[in-house]
C-alpha cells in the first residue's frame, strides 16, 4: 500500500466518527431515544469503546474532531428555499447561527497541516424562533467512508488491531483492500485545505424536506465556499504552522465575513438515500437554499465548544429523517461519547 501506516491509521480511523462527524454531540432525551429505537444501542456502545482505543484520544476531549474553533454568523435563505421546506429558517428572514469548524482527528493537538487531520468538519446550529434549534453536521468529503454502522465498527477494529511491527498485510490494509470506497475516502482526505474558507462540506446523509403544501423531497446538503475550493501542495503544506487553519480563520474574520452557499442536491429516481457512501452524480438537480455568513469567532471559543452539542437528528418541522440508517446510530454514539467525556 502506497500510504504509510501512520497516514492510514489517522485517516481511516481517527477521522471518521459517523459523519462523524464531527464534534461532540448532546445526550438525547428519552423521547428521542424512543424515536431512534431502530438504532442498535449495543452497536453504538461497541463503536465508542473501539474508538476510545484509537491512538490520539485524550480524556476530556471529543472522541473525534477534537480540535476546532467556534464561530457565529447568520443564514439568509434564498427565494427558492421555501419551495423546498417549510422549516422556519427557510422562510425569508435571516437566522442566527453557531458554527464549529474542526480537524477530523481524535488528537486535539494534531497539526492542521498533517495528512491525518482530515476530513475537516463543519457543524451548524440554526437558532430558530421560540428557542428551537436545528443542526447540520457535515464533512469535507463527498461520500462517507462506509455504508453501515457494522462496517464502521469493522474499520475501527482493523485500525486498533494493526501493529506496524507485524508483517504485512495489516488488518487495516486488508479492510481497505476489501472496501474500495473506504480506501478512496482515506486517500482523498490526505489533502490540506488552504483555509476553512476554501473547503466545501457535505452532509452525506439524506434527509426529507417537506414544504407548506406537504410535498416531500429527499436531498443532501452541500455547503460550498463562495471563495472557491483550494488545497495546498505538499510543499506549501510543509511551510504552514501547526494551527494555521484556525489562525487564518481569525485573520480573515477580522476584516470581512466568510461565506458559504447552502445547497440541497436532489436525487434522480434510483439514486440511493440509504447509503451515504454512494455519491450522487454532479448532474443532479440542486436548489440554492441560501447563504451562510460566518462573521466572527465567539469569545472564549475553547469554553463555548465544551458545552456545544450538535446532533444530525436535531431536526425541525419541515425536515425529516430519510431511510439512511446512520444518523440514528450516530446519535446514540454521540450521546455515549458526551457522557464519557463529561466524566473525565
Q: Which residue has the higher pLDDT, 332 or 102?
A: 102
Residues 282-291 have a mean pLDDT of 98
The candidate with the shortest Cα–Cα distance to 7, out of 113, 84, 87, 79, is 113
Q: Give percent above pLDDT 90 in the chain.
A: 75
Tens of pLDDT, residue by residue over 152-168, are 999 999 999 999 999 99
179 is catalytic: no
Q: Give percent above pLDDT 70 in the chain.
A: 88
- Indicate left, alpha or beta for 290 from its phi (over 0: left) and psi (-120 to 50: alpha): left
Residue 33 pLDDT exceeds 90? no
> CA 332, CA 26: separation in Å to the nearest integer?
10
Cell of 205: 446523509
Q: Is the pTM of this model over 0.95?
A: no
pLDDT at site 11? 43
Among the listed residues 65, 89, 141, 179, the single catalytic one is 65
pLDDT at site 344? 60
Domain covering 5-342 in this structure, CATH number: 2.40.180.10
Tens of pLDDT, residue by residue over 293-331, are 999 999 999 889 888 889 999 999 999 999 999 999 988
Whether the CB-CB separation of 135 and 311 falls below 8 Å is answered with yes
Residue 27 pLDDT exceeds 60? no
CB atoms within 10 A of CB 262: 25
> CA 169, CA 97: separation in Å to the nearest integer?
46
Confidence of residue 18 (pLDDT cuts 50, 70, 90): very low
> CA 44, CA 50: separation in Å to the nearest integer?
10
Tens of pLDDT, residue by residue over 111-151, are 999 999 999 999 999 999 999 999 999 999 999 999 999 99
pLDDT at site 39? 53
Q: Which residue has the higher pLDDT, 12 or 41?
A: 41
Tens of pLDDT, residue by residue over 211-257, are 999 999 999 999 999 999 999 999 999 999 999 999 999 999 999 99
The region of weakest confidence among 1-10, 99-108, 283-292 is 1-10
Amino acid at each position: 500500500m502506497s500510504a504509510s501506516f501512520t497516514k492510514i491509521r489517522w485517516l481511516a480511523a481517527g477521522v471518521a466518527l459517523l459523519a462523524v462527524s464531527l464534534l461532540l454531540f448532546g445526550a438525547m432525551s428519552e423521547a428521542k431515544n424512543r424515536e431512534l429505537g431502530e438504532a442498535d444501542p449495543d452497536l453504538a456502545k461497541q463503536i465508542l469503546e473501539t474508538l476510545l482505543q484509537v491512538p490520539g484520544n485524550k480524556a476530556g476531549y471529543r472522541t473525534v474532531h477534537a480540535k476546532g474553533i467556534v464561530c457565529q454568523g447568520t443564514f439568509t435563505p434564498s427565494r427558492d428555499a421555501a419551495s423546498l421546506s417549510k422549516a422556519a429558517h427557510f422562510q425569508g428572514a435571516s437566522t442566527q447561527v453557531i458554527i464549529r469548524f474542526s480537524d477530523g482527528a481524535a488528537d486535539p493537538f494534531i497539526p492542521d497541516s498533517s495528512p491525518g487531520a482530515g476530513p475537516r468538519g463543519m457543524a451548524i446550529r440554526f437558532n430558530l424562533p421560540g428557542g428551537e434549534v436545528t443542526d447540520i453536521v457535515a464533512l469535507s468529503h463527498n461520500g462517507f467512508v462506509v455504508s453501515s454502522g457494522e462496517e464502521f465498527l469493522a474499520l475501527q477494529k482493523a485500525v486498533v488491531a494493526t501493529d506496524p511491527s507485524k508483517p504485512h498485510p495489516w488488518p487495516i490494509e486488508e479492510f481497505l483492500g476489501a472496501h474500495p470506497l473506504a480506501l478512496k475516502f482515506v486517500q482523498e482526505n490526505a489533502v490540506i485545505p488552504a483555509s476553512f474558507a476554501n473547503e466545501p462540506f457535505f452532509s452525506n446523509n439524506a434527509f426529507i424536506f417537506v414544504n407548506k403544501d406537504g410535498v416531500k423531497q429527499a436531498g443532501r446538503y452541500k455547503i460550498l465556499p463562495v471563495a472557491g475550493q483550494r488545497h495546498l501542495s505538499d510543499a506549501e503544506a510543509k511551510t504552514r504552522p501547526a494551527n494555521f487553519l484556525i489562525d487564518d480563520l481569525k485573520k480573515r474574520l477580522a476584516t470581512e465575513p466568510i461565506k458559504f452557499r447552502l445547497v440541497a442536491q436532489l436525487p434522480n429516481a434510483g439514486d440511493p438515500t440509504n447509503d451515504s457512501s454512494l455519491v450522487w452524480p454532479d448532474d443532479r438537480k440542486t436548489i440554492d437554499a441560501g447563504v451562510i455568513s460566518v462573521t466572527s469567532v465567539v469569545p472564549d471559543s475553547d469554553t463555548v465548544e465544551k458545552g456545544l452539542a450538535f446532533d444530525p437528528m436535531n431536526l425541525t418541522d419541515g425536515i425529516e429523517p430519510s431511510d439512511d440508517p446512520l444518523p440514528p446510530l450516530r446519535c446514540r454514539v454521540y450521546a455515549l461519547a458526551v457522557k464519557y467525556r463529561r466524566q473525565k
